[in-house]
Amino acid sequence: MSFTRRRFLSTGLATAAGAAAIAKPGVVAAQAASTATFPAIARLPTLSAQARAFTNAERQTRIERARQLMAENRIDAILIAGGTSGLYFADLRMGGSERLWALVIPAKNKPFMVTPAFEEGRAREALDAGPLGKEAQVLTWQEDESPFALVGKGLRDRGIATGTLGIDENTKFVFADSIRAANPHLNLVSATPVTAGCRMIKDAHELECMRLASKATLLVYRAVAQSVRVGMTNAEVENLVQLAYAKVGFPGEASLNIDEFTALPHGSAQPQTLREGSILMLDDGCTVEGYQSDLTRTFVLGKPTDKMKKVFDVVKTAQTAALKTARPGIVAGDVDAAARKVIVDAGYGPGFRYFTHRLGHGIGMDGHEWPYFVKNNMFGWDVAPRLKAGMTFSDEPGVYIKGEFGIRLEDDLVITPDGAELLTPQSPSIDDPFGGMVY
C-alpha cells in the first residue's frame, strides 16, 4: 500500500477496508477464472476468518508497559511521528508529510497529539477510535506557527519542563532537530529502549497472528511450486503468488529469482525465464492483523544437481544449528556464529564470502525490526541486547555461488523459555522442498 501526502494519518480500519476490497464480486469472479487454470492454487483454503483483531484494551496494556520502560530508562515521555509504533500503541498510522503530526506519551500524565489546525477533526476522530480516546488532548498549530515549540508546551503543561524526551527512531531528523532547537531545556534521546522494548517481546495473540501468516505463506509457496511451468517468467510466477494470497485471504507478495540470479541474496530486476532444471528462490511473506511472515524456499523445476543437493544440505544444517543455539540469555551474534561455522566448515568461507549476510532479523509488525542475528548488534542500545522469550526472528542462512546459483532457507522462529521454535516446518530436502506438510 502506498501513502500519499493526504493519507498520512489513518486508523487501522484501513486494513479491514483492504480486506473488503478483495471480496468485491468482480474481483472474486476474475480470481475464480484464473485459479481454475492452476488447481493447486484453487485448492488453497481461505484462512482470513481465523485472524483475530487486536482490541483497544490490548493496546492500552502496551502503553502501560511503555510507561514502565520509560521509568526504568529515566525517560519522561516518548514522541512518535512516523513508522509502525503509532499503530502498535494507538492504532494510528502517521508519517509521510512535511508537516509534523506527533503522538507524545508521557510516563506519568495524559498523552497528547500535535497536529496541523486544519486536521484537528481528523486527528480527534482517529484518537477517539483508538485506546487513548478522549484521554488524549489535541494541540494544534497554524501553518505560520512552530509545531516544535508546541511539543515543548505540551510537556511543560504536564510538568515536564526540563525532562528527557525519547524520540522514536522513525521520526524524521528534521523534526527531531527542530524540536531540540525549539526546546533547549529538553534532553532528547532515543526511544528505542522503550518502543523496541515493548515490540520485541510478542504476546500470545501476536504469536498467533505470526503463526497464521507463516502458515499462509508456506501454503502459498507450495501451491505456486506445484503450478510453475517451463517458459514462465519470474514476473508471471510472482503474479501467481498474488493470486494465491488472494485465495487464502491475506495481503502478501514474493520475489522470485531463477538460476544464476539466486546467487544474489535480494535478487535482480533482470527478466528471468524458467527452463527444465532451473533452480528457483521464493522470498517474502504476508500480513495478518498487521503482523508479518518472512519465508524463503529454494527448489528446482526438475532434477537438482549433486552440487545443489550438497549446498542445500549444508544450509539446512546451518539453519538447524542456529535453531539449537538460540535461547534466552545469549547475545544474538552467537546464533549467527553457530550457523556461519557450519557453512565455513563445509568449505564455504571464510566469514561472509559465501554466506554474505547476517543470519536473520527480528520480525513482527515490521518485516525487519530489532534485534538482529549478527555480531555487534547494537542499533540503539549501549549494550548488545540478549535474547528473551517471546522475541521473534527470521532464521535464514544461505550459500551464494556467483555465476551459478544460491540456496537460502528461511523460517521464522520464536524464542521460548528454554530454547527456540520454528513457526513452520523446515524444508526437508531440495528434492522434496515441502514434504508432507499438513495444515
Per-residue confidence (pLDDT) for residue 8, from 0 to 100: 36
205-422 has which fold? Creatine Amidinohydrolase (3.90.230)
Angle value at C-alpha 358, between 355 and 364, nearest 5 degrees: 135
Would you place residue 379 in the very low, low, confident or very high pLDDT band (cuts 50, 70, 90)?
low
**Residue 381: half-sphere exposure toward Cβ, Cα within 13 Å:** 16
d(CA 90, CA 11): 9
The secondary structure of the chain in percent helix, strand, coil, rounded to multiples of 5, reads 40, 20, 40
Number of neighbouring beta carbons within 10 Å of residue 434: 17
CB 179 within 8 A of CB 186: yes
pLDDT at 45 over 50: yes
For residue 284, is it left (φ>0), alpha (ψ between -120 and 50) or beta? left
| pLDDT tens sequence across 302-338 | 999 999 999 999 999 999 999 999 999 999 999 999 9
| Helical (H) or strand (E) element with 177 | helix 173-182
Widest distance between CA atoms in the chain: 70
Q: Is 418 exposed, middle or buried (0-12, 13-18, 19+ CB in 10 A)?
A: exposed
d(CA 140, CA 119): 8
Report the percent of the chain where pLDDT is more than 90: 85
CB 388 within 8 A of CB 200: yes
- DSSP conformation class of 348: -
242 grid coordinates = 498474488
Mean pLDDT of 196-211: 98
Number of neighbouring beta carbons within 10 Å of residue 244: 27
In angstroms, the first-to-last Cα distance of the chain is 29
Range of lowest pLDDT (184-198, 359-373, 424-438): 424-438
Would you place residue 97 in the very low, low, confident or very high pLDDT band (cuts 50, 70, 90)?
confident
Q: Give the β-pairing of 77-80 and 164-167.
A: parallel
d(CA 63, CA 333): 30
Mean pLDDT of 199-217: 98
Domain ranges in the chain are 56-199, 205-422
Would you place residue 380 in the very low, low, confident or very high pLDDT band (cuts 50, 70, 90)?
low
Would you place residue 14 in the very low, low, confident or very high pLDDT band (cuts 50, 70, 90)?
very low
Characterize 175-209 residue by residue with b for buried, 16 or more Cβ atoms within 10 angstroms of its Cβ, and e for exposed.
bbebbeebbeebeebbbbbbbbbbbbbbeeebbbb
Per-residue confidence (pLDDT) for residue 19, from 0 to 100: 41
Per-residue confidence (pLDDT) for residue 31, from 0 to 100: 55
Q: Is 110 exposed, middle or buried (0-12, 13-18, 19+ CB in 10 A)?
A: middle
Mean pLDDT of the chain: 91
Range of lowest pLDDT (81-95, 231-245, 412-426): 81-95
CA distances 386 to 191, 249, 329, 334, 377, Å, are: 18, 36, 5, 10, 10
28 grid coordinates = 472474486
Range of lowest pLDDT (8-17, 172-181, 216-225, 283-292): 8-17
pLDDT at 435 over 50: yes
| pLDDT tens sequence across 232-290 | 999 999 999 999 999 999 999 999 999 999 999 998 989 999 999 999 999 999 999 99
CATH of domain 56-199: 3.40.350.10
Report the percent of the chain where pLDDT is more than 70: 90
| pLDDT tens sequence across 345-363 | 999 999 999 999 999 999 9
pLDDT at 436 over 80: no
Would you place residue 64 in the very low, low, confident or very high pLDDT band (cuts 50, 70, 90)?
very high
d(CA 252, CA 114): 33
d(CA 112, CA 105): 7
pLDDT at 437 over 90: no
d(CA 413, CA 424): 8
d(CA 139, CA 148): 11
Number of neighbouring beta carbons within 10 Å of residue 140: 16
Per-residue confidence (pLDDT) for residue 26, from 0 to 100: 39
Distant-in-sequence, close-in-space partners of 365: CB < 8 Å, separation ≥ 6: 84, 87, 88, 199, 290, 291, 292
Q: Which residue from 12, 356, 301, 72 is spatially nearest to 198, judged by alpha carbons?
A: 72
d(CA 47, CA 260): 35
| pLDDT tens sequence across 128-187 | 999 999 889 999 999 999 999 999 999 999 999 999 999 999 999 999 999 999 999 999
Q: Give the β-pairing of 252-258 and 398-401.
A: unpaired
Per-residue confidence (pLDDT) for residue 93, from 0 to 100: 86
Range of lowest pLDDT (194-203, 264-273, 278-287, 377-386): 377-386
